[in-house]
Amino acid sequence: MRTETKNFTIRPATIVDVPIILQLIRDLATYERAPSEVAATEEQLVDVLFGERPVAEVLLAFEDEMPIGFAVFFHNFSTWLGRPGLYLEDLFVKPEARGKGYGRALLIHLAKIARDRGCGRMEWAVLDWNGPAIQFYRKLGAKPMDEWTVFRLTTDGIAKLAQS
């Protein structure tokens, strides 16, 4: 599936796009005030996105020929619905390209993928300090899941639990 207007294109990433994906990840980390926390490498991204068992998919957004944003997503599963869901890990449009409807276009594209794949829901997390994003998502009809708390184990915590 491909979305295209005169100067704007959304398309699925391919293996040759890995350097673009990594740069957008770094741009996102800078925006989220954590530029030094990116540990991903091109080699890792090739493996996890395009290897034998891909774990996520990427949509790239271009204005003319310049990459200006991306969406990284994967499928989760709802036991209650008995259907897959689409989990949006990251949505990012470069600050200089905002206000043109590109973020909305990426979400519409994702909604079409979710619909076409029989997903029962789309979910994502947003940093609580990111007021513009929260307002944007609310305008689209998304609702915060205030009664849920996200828990996380990192690599060390996973190893410790696995060895217990």
The CATH number for 131's domain is: 3.40.630.30
With bands split at pLDDT 50, 70 and 90, how would you rate the model's confidence at 3?
low
Task: Give CA torsion, residues 31, 36, 42, 48, to 10 deg.
Answer: -80
Determine the pLDDT at residue 75: 98
pLDDT over threshold 70, residue 2: no
pTM of the model: 0.91
Q: Which of 31, 87, 102, 137 is catalytic?
A: 137
Q: Tell me the angle at which helices 42-50 and 18-31 cross, rounded to the nearest 10 degrees.
A: 110
Determine the pLDDT at residue 4: 52
State yes or no: is 137 an active-site residue.
yes
Domains held by the chain: number: 1
Range of the domain at 16: 3-163
Give which of 60, 61, 126 is closest to 88, Cα–Cα.
Answer: 126
pLDDT over threshold 60, residue 133: yes
Summarised one tens digit per residue, pLDDT across range 58-95 is 999 999 999 999 999 999 999 999 999 999 999 999 99
